[in-house]
Structure 1
Amino acid sequence: MIIVMKQKVSAEQVDAVSQRIRSLGYEPHIIHGESRDVIGAVGDERGKMVLQSLESMAGVEKVVPILKPYKLASREVCPEPSQVELAPGVVIGGAELIVMAGPCSVESEEQIVFTAQAVKRAGARVLRGGAFKPRTSPYSFQGMEEEGLKLLDLARQETGLPIVTEVVNPRDVELVARYADILQVGARNVQNFALLKMLGQLDKPVLLKRGMATTIQEYLMSAEYILSEGNRRVVLCERGIRTFETATRNTLDISAVPVLKEQTHLPVVIDPSHATGHAQLVPSMCYAGVAAGCDGLIVEVHPTPETAASDGPQSLRPAEFADMMLKLKRFAEVAERTLPQVGGC
Structure 2
Amino acid sequence: MAVAMNMNWKEDQEVIEIIKRIKEPFKMTNRAFKAEDTCVTVDGRSIGNGHFGIIAGPCSVESRSQIVDVAKAIELSGANFLRGGAFKPRTSPYDFQGLRSEGLALLRAAKKATGLPIVTEVMAVKTLEDHADDIDIIQIGARNMQNFDLLKAAGQLRKPVLLKRGMSATIEEFLMAAEYILSEGNDQVILCERGIRTFEKYTRNTLDLSAIPVIKRYSHLPIIIDPSHATGDSRYVESMALAAVAAGADGLMIEVHNNPETALSDGKQSLTPVQFNAVMEKVTQLAKIMGKTVG
Using the size of structure 1 for normalisation, the TM-score is: 0.82
- Asked whether the 8 Å contact 1:176–1:183 carries over to 2, the reply is no
Partner of 1:175: 130
**Secondary structure, counterpart of 1:196 in structure 2:** helix
- Asked whether the 8 Å contact 2:48–2:250 carries over to 1, the reply is yes
Alignment of 1:259-278 (within 5 A): 259-278=214-233
Q: Which consecutive residues of structure 1, in runs of 5 or more, have no partner in the other structure?
A: 6-13, 21-55, 341-345
Aligned-pair distance for 1:88? 2.0
Aligned-pair distance for 1:281? 0.4
Partner of 1:64: 20
Distance between the aligned counterparts of 2:29 and 2:194, measured in 1?
19
Alignment of 1:1-345 (within 5 A): 1-3=1-3, 14-16=6-8, 57-58=14-15, 60-85=16-41, 87-340=42-295
Q: Deviations over 1:276-299 (max 9, x none)?
A: 000010011110001011101000
Distance between the aligned counterparts of 1:94 and 1:147, measured in 2?
35
Aligned-pair distance for 1:136? 0.1
- Asked whether the 8 Å contact 2:81–2:117 carries over to 1, the reply is yes
Distance between the aligned counterparts of 1:222 and 1:75, measured in 2?
16
Aligned-pair distance for 1:65? 2.0
Q: Deviations over 1:293-343 (max 9, x none)?
A: 110100000000000000000000000000110111221122111224xxx
Q: Tell me the amino acid that sits aligned with residue 282 of structure 1.
A: V
Distance between the aligned counterparts of 1:16 and 1:214, measured in 2?
42
Partner of 1:41: none
Aligned-pair distance for 1:95? 2.2
Aligned-pair distance for 1:176? 2.8
Using the size of structure 2 for normalisation, the TM-score is: 0.96
RMSD between superposed Cα atoms in Å = 1.5
**Secondary structure, counterpart of 1:236 in structure 2:** strand
Q: Deviations over 1:85-119 (max 9, x none)?
A: 2x121111132211000000000000000000000
- Asked whether the 8 Å contact 1:300–1:316 carries over to 2, the reply is yes
Distance between the aligned counterparts of 1:227 and 1:102, measured in 2?
27
Distance between the aligned counterparts of 1:188 and 1:95, measured in 2?
29
Q: Tell me the amino acid that sits aligned with residue 191 of structure 2.
A: L
Q: Tell me the amino acid that sits aligned with residue 77 of structure 1.
A: F
Instruction: Tell me: higher relative CO, structure 1 or 2? Use CA pairs within 8 A at least 6 residues apart.
Output: 2
Distance between the aligned counterparts of 1:273 and 1:169, measured in 2?
24
1:223 to 1:4, Cα distance in 2 relative to 1, 3 A: closer
Distance between the aligned counterparts of 1:131 and 1:208, measured in 2?
17
- Asked whether the 8 Å contact 1:252–1:272 carries over to 2, the reply is yes
| Percent identity for Structure 1 against Structure 2 | 55
Aligned-pair distance for 1:147? 0.2
- Asked whether the 8 Å contact 1:273–1:315 carries over to 2, the reply is yes
1:62 to 1:204, Cα distance in 2 relative to 1, 3 A: closer
**Secondary structure, counterpart of 2:163 in structure 1:** strand
Distance between the aligned counterparts of 2:129 and 2:64, measured in 1?
23
Aligned-pair distance for 1:57? 4.2
**Secondary structure, counterpart of 2:51 in structure 1:** coil
Structure showing greater radius of gyration is 1
**Secondary structure, counterpart of 1:98 in structure 2:** strand
**Secondary structure, counterpart of 2:46 in structure 1:** strand
Aligned-pair distance for 1:15? 4.3
Q: Which consecutive residues of structure 2, in runs of 5 or more, have no partner in the other structure?
A: none
Distance between the aligned counterparts of 2:181 and 2:50, measured in 1?
25
Aligned-pair distance for 1:174? 1.5
Q: Deviations over 1:143-170 (max 9, x none)?
A: 0000000000000000000010000112
How many residue pairs end up in the alignment?
293
Q: Tell me the amino acid that sits aligned with residue 58 of structure 2.
A: P
